């Protein structure tokens, strides 16, 4: 786009012919696009650009406006769209009004162990599904995300075993988890751009707001026990940056329409994840 913009501006600039210095006026066909204003400011005549010339430059400048974050890579575009779907309590850039219990500030939550176990079980089903899809890679690009270090299935299995040892009954997966897992399976085959949107939002949301939720719930219910779900075997910022690079690489050959389609799926991702998160408060 930068090349196109430069070419358009260059073409428009070629129309600007310097005013003739000869005393007689030029033929109308060859009049300069720069006109000298009769107004004098500080003793100097002001040169103004006529409306037609301004329109030429304006059209070139606005040829294809960049999307927010586009210059920094596609992950930045996904981050920007996701942040807008948070509430102000959840993120500084949030624009969404608080409508659901899980959208309130975590400090105002009243969780239960039973609800938290439902959340962990349904979350495990979603991560099991994601990680199996990546391993099988129905689309070759998914193979880029094998063994990133962000995988959570094994950690959740350890946590659920710990709860079982404490005497808690581990529930079966419920409707929110079953629905999301099935949806991911369908997307992974027929709609890779939408699937990548869910992949990004699930893993990156857990590494940010998810950790804060885990900490607050542990304070209220688990005597500050840190679950394996919220631990990583390597430096988390490094792991996240590695996945950002892979996501940008996978999205690089996508058309603008494919990228926009991916971004449009963000709201669906938030809706399905929110239904699982709400289980903590059930």
Per the domain annotation, does 270 fall within a domain?
A: yes
Question: How many domains does the chain divide into?
Answer: 1
Residue 50 neighbours by CB distance under 10 Å: 12
At 68-116, the pLDDT tens digits run 667 689 999 999 999 998 776 666 655 567 777 766 777 788 999 999 9
Residue 222 lies in a domain: yes
- The answer to whether position 20 is within a domain reads no
Q: What is the CATH number of the domain that holds 180?
A: 1.20.910.10
What whole-number distance in Å separates Cα of residue 98 and Cα of residue 96? 7
**Do the domain assignments include residue 11?**
no
Q: How far apart are CA 88 and CA 83, in angstroms?
A: 10
78 neighbors 250 (Cβ within 8 angstroms): no
Q: Answer whether residue 149 is part of any domain.
A: yes
Q: What is the mean pLDDT of residues 219-232?
A: 96
In 3D, which of 123, 90, 94, 125 has the Cα closest to residue 109? Answer: 90
pLDDT by residue (tens digit) across 157-204? 999 999 999 999 999 999 999 999 999 999 999 999 999 999 999 999
**103-132 per-position pLDDT tens digit:** 677 778 899 999 999 999 999 999 999 999
Q: Which structural domain range is residue 272 located in?
A: 112-280
Question: Quick one: the chain helix, strand, coil %, rounded to 5?
Answer: 65, 5, 30
CA distance 134 to 148: 11
In a domain, 49, yes or no: no
The residue-averaged pLDDT of 37-46 equals 44
Judge whether 37 lies within some domain.
no
CA distance 49 to 55: 10
SS3 (DSSP) at 41: strand
Q: Is residue 216 part of a domain?
A: yes
pTM for the structure as a whole: 0.74
Question: Residue 238: pLDDT band by 50, 70, 90 thresholds?
Answer: very high
């Amino acid at each position: 786009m930068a090349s196109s913009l430069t070419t358009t501006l260059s073409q428009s600039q070629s129309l600007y012919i310097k005013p003739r210095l000869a005393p007689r006026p030029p033929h109308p066909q060859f009049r300069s696009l720069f006109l000298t204003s009769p107004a004098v400011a500080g003793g100097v005549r002001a040169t103004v650009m006529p409306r037609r010339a301004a329109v030429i430059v304006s059209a070139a400048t606005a040829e294809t406006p960049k999307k927010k974050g586009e210059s920094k890579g596609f992950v930045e575009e996904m981050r920007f769209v996701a942040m807008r779907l948070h509430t102000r309590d959840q993120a500084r850039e949030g624009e969404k009004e608080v409508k659901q219990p899980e959208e309130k500030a975590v400090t105002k939550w009243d969780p239960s162990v039973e609800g938290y176990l439902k959340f962990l079980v349904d979350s495990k089903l979603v991560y099991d599904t994601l990680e199996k899809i990546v391993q099988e890679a129905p689309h070759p690009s998914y193979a880029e995300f094998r063994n990133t270090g962000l995988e959570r299935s094994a950690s959740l299995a350890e946590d659920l075993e710990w709860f079982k040892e404490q005497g808690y009954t581990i529930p079966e997966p419920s409707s929110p988890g079953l629905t999301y897992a099935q949806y991911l399976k369908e997307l992974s085959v027929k709609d890779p751009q939408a699937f990548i949107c869910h992949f990004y939002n699930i893993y990156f949301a857990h590494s940010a707001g998810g950790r804060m939720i885990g900490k607050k719930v542990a304070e209220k219910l688990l005597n500050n026990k840190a679950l394996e779900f919220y631990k990583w075997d390597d430096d988390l910022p490094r792991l996240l940056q590695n996945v950002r690079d892979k996501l940008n690489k996978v999205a690089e050959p996508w058309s603008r329409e494919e990228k926009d389609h991916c971004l449009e799926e963000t709201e669906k991702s938030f809706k399905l994840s929110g239904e699982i998160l709400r289980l903590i408060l059930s």
